[in-house]
Amino acid sequence: MSNSTAASPSQQKGHPPGLYVLFFAEMWERFCYYGMRTLLVLYLTKELLMADKPAYGIYGAYTALVYAAPVLGGKLADELLGYRRAVVMGGVLMAIGEFMLVFNGQMPDSNVLLFLGMGTIIVGNGYFKANISSIVGKLYEEGDARRDSGFTIFYMGINIGAVLATTVVGYVGEVYGYVWGFGLAGIGMLVGIGIFMGGQGLLQDLGHPPDANKLMQPWKGPLSRWHVTVLGSLGIIPILYFLLVSEGAVAAAGDSAAGWVNAVATIQQNVFFGFSFVDVLLAVTMTVVVINLLRGANAAGKLAPPEQRTVQRDRMIVLFILMVFNIMFWALFEQAGTSLTLFADRAVDRQIDLVNWELPTTNTQAFNPAFIIIFGSVFSWMWVKLDKKGLNPNIPLKFAFGLIQLGCGFLVLLVGASMVGPDYKVALVFLVVMYLLHTTGELFISPIGLSMVTKLAPAHLTGTVMGAWFLSFAFANKVAAGLAKLTGAEEGAGEGAEMAAQEVMNTYIGTYQTFGFVIVGVGVVLILMSRWLNKMMHGVK
């Protein structure tokens, strides 16, 4: 049969085979990332005996930089490396970073390898995360109704990896030793890279360098652009080391702090008005990204008819506005890795009487990805059915409903706190229901947001715009760390640092109550804006 008789995207059933290669590669990458993320705050507070405040600072800086890195990784893939090479390079660096954390456990008097390993994972994630999502989008032609469903399936792969990470890696790390959990995460990343490289033939010739000859030809002396990119990536790691160390050290600065720590604290207070180096870096990066996106869109618009220029401008405006709401959602959702982890450890009754077993703290983070696996296919089916009936909510409305569900999840903890016994511990069921509502809220926002970016972005800027989208997650994670400090539990989980049970409950629940009411209000505001925003999207659904 000739190619001319192939089915059009609207006629095709099922999904491209390449989707499942990307599904499993991303699943193991998330196994790697969430395995480390699940253990990090507990490792810092229990193994290294840090107080909550510096632990939250390090976690927030790390996760923020993880999501900021795809800005550069996406741009390099767009213009130089191609998506495939970027994904492989990123995965290898992430595995190396995890193994550096393992060896840090053999150096009890120094955490040099801890922060170097975290910096290596950040760089690796920058190459991997945005670019594998970009390949997913390119599997589908413009107007293909399967795109949203495909991204939801891809998102389920992310969360299967997260379930495995928060159960297997979390359990191994908490029971047998944190470094063993980090090592297991690194092995998972190697499996993911093996799957991706073995499935190259199913990716429809997508993701190759825009100019392979230019990439490999000598550029700086004997070095090609590929060599310079690799060396430059490695050179960024020491800078990230400094940023991570300073974030935690300054948070704990005091009379006994090293001189350089107090000097950094003084610079941040007097020059940056109290903002950290990471805060300033994120702000500068976002400014540069926005300017570059506007320039790129404007350059493309000059070659298009006037009406097309208006459409592209309006779509970019919507993208920036929804990024702001995305930051609000994830700043509260990402309490899962910080304050909600320690809340589960200190103020939740995790004893399961039926089997006479106490659920490990790390395993409470498995509720969210487990619910995504359960409901992800339901949502994927639901969007398709609603679209056929003309009842599919527009994208801004989906965001609004997601925000409201997130707020309701925090308010469920308020109900649980009103029913505590003399031990002042919330029953586990209320934490489960909270994560259920957070998960359904996430399904209204995250896979839809990924799909939205590939629809609203100009074709030649897909990777760059995807990087900008992940930059909004970077801001959210940094804000999340600051919000976590509002829980008031700053004494840490080390020896002699336990607070009275009632005080723990009151500080956590009071903060979560505020989170809940505020974000529900934000969702209502977005509902009121949804009609205008939908009009500005010019037919994108």
For 202-217, what is each residue's pLDDT tens digit?
998 888 998 888 899 8
5 versus 518: which is more confidently predicted? 518
Looking at residues 347-354, what average pLDDT do you find? Answer: 92
DSSP 349: E
Highest mean predicted confidence (pLDDT) among 189-193, 316-320, 449-453, 493-497 = 189-193
With CA atoms as reference, report the closest residue to 515 among 341, 329, 337, 347: 329
Pick the closest to residue 74 from 142, 37, 20, 128 (CA basis). 128
How crowded is the C-beta side of 100, counted as CA atoms within 13 Å? 20
Residue located via tokens 């506005």: 321
pLDDT confidence tier of residue 42, bands split at 50, 70 and 90: very high
Which overall architecture, per CATH, does domain 16-246+296-536 show?
Up-down Bundle (1.20)
* Weakest-pLDDT range from 137-146, 283-292, 495-504: 495-504
Q: What is the pLDDT of residue 182?
A: 96
Question: How confident is the model at residue 257, as a pLDDT?
Answer: 47
Share of the chain above pLDDT 70, in %: 87
pTM of the predicted structure, to 2 decimals: 0.86
Residue 487, CA atoms < 13 Å, CB-side half-sphere: 29
Tokens of 460: 């030649």
Could you report the per-residue pLDDT of 265-286, keeping only the tens digit for each? Answer: 667 666 666 678 888 888 888 8
In the predicted structure, residue 492 carries a pLDDT above the cut 70: no
Residue 510 exposed, middle or buried by CB count within 10 Å (0-12, 13-18, 19+): middle
Whether the CB-CB separation of 349 and 425 falls below 8 Å is answered with yes
Mean pLDDT for 420-424 is: 88
CB-CB contact of 29 with 189 (8 Å) = yes
